[in-house]
Amino acid sequence: MKDIRSLHAIRGYCALWVCFGHYHYLIDMIDIAFIKQIARYGSLGIIIFFILSGFFLAYVYNERFSTIRNIKKNYKKYIIYRFGRIYPLYFVILAAFVIMSYLGWTAKTNVVINREFENPYYFPFYLLLIQCWGFLEGREQYAFNSPSWTLSVDALLYIIFPLIFFFILKIKNVFVNLSIIILVNIFYYVTVKDLGVMINSEGEKQYFLALFKNNPLEIVPVFIAGICIHSLYKQKFLSFLNWNLIIVISIIVFYIMMYNDYRFNIILFITPILVYGLLNISEGFDKYFSNNIIYYIGTIAYSIYLWHIPYAVFVNHFFPLEDLDIWGWHFIPFIGGLFLLSSISYHLIENPCRIWIKKNFTS
């Protein structure tokens, strides 16, 4: 199966985007104007993650879930493999986070939010990865390494994906698929809240662009949009256009909108265009978006995403974050440490577990 380098690489961009967004609000505000504006919209990285999740699942399982018979035949191996991709590393990091919480490290930094829910009552929901399945409410869903809420939603989407994909697969009309994507954007335009409030390290209120504050399952339509993008891609919708130029223009417009504080749900309209455009750019142009360094960051993006909060807690215990200039002199060692940890994690935990599970349970 063809490796779509541009979309693989964009995972790396999104992981760093979310990471910098969290560090911007929870550790130290960025002073550089153009970087600050990008960091403020870090939640858009999560949007793109879920669009990519829907697309890649449809891309990989296109034939295996094309009929009800095939779904019944392949579902067990599929679900074992999908959970095998995300759970081993999730469990290791959850255990590490619980240990740091027990030692009192998480109470020493603002990088950990909702620590009042770090107790035995809530832990089983996180252990089973069902904290965002409707059993908990509001801030209860964001304890024990807050970014892991996306993994809980991902797990639920893995379970229901084959049926969603099967019905979308039957829609042959490109305009119906396009209409679904447009309706998803309209849904967010109408429902997504623009501003949330977070207290910074100095006790001041900071406003930020918030997503899914009370109901993480609001992410599901974005996932469906990703499946529809696959359908359009498969049917070569508008493939004759100059997507190299469209991507350049979209990125410029994307940044201008962020720099000028456009409403979050307006900027969302650009994200499907970016993803679909990256699928259709020329091979030569693709190299600018997916060079070997960015491609590797995309490979370890899952580790970067899951580790970036626990890593900050660990560093803070030995070198208080309020004393570090993480956007200045200490940027390279601080972010470099995260990359090193994520790389080790990928090669020693994440990838070996995936290979072992695939070999012993899905072959």
Q: Is 224's pLDDT higher than 50?
A: yes
Q: Which of 6-20, 60-74, 169-183, 331-345 has the highest mean pLDDT?
A: 331-345
With a threshold of 0.95, does the pTM exceed it?
Answer: no
pLDDT band of 63, cuts 50, 70, 90: confident
Residue 252 or 34, more confident: 252
- Average pLDDT score over residue span 53-62: 89
CA distance 80 to 347: 21
Residue 357 or 38, more confident: 357
CA distance 293 to 296: 5
pLDDT tens profile 178-202? 888 877 777 766 665 544 444 444 4
Residue 13 or 6, more confident: 13
- From residue 100, give the alpha-carbon distance in Å to each of 125, 243, 251: 19, 47, 40
pLDDT band of 155, cuts 50, 70, 90: very high
Domain boundaries, the chain: 5-362
pLDDT tens profile 243-287? 888 888 888 888 887 777 666 666 777 888 888 888 887 766 777
Secondary structure (DSSP) of 217-278: GGGHHHHHHHHHHHHHHHTTTTTTS-HHHHHHHHHHHHHHHHHTT--HHHHGGGHHHHHHHH
| CA nearest to 145, candidates 17, 42, 41, 26 | 26
Segments in the chain forming alpha helices (H): 5-26, 33-40, 43-60, 68-102, 123-127, 149-169, 174-191, 220-234, 243-259, 264-267, 271-280, 283-289, 292-299, 301-318, 331-345, 351-357
pLDDT tens profile 285-335? 777 767 788 889 889 999 999 999 999 889 888 888 777 777 778 888 889
Three-state DSSP class for 29? coil
Longest dimension (CA), the chain: 60
Secondary structure (DSSP) of 113-143: --GGG-STTTHHHHHTT-TTTTSS-GGGGG-
CA distance 240 to 2: 20
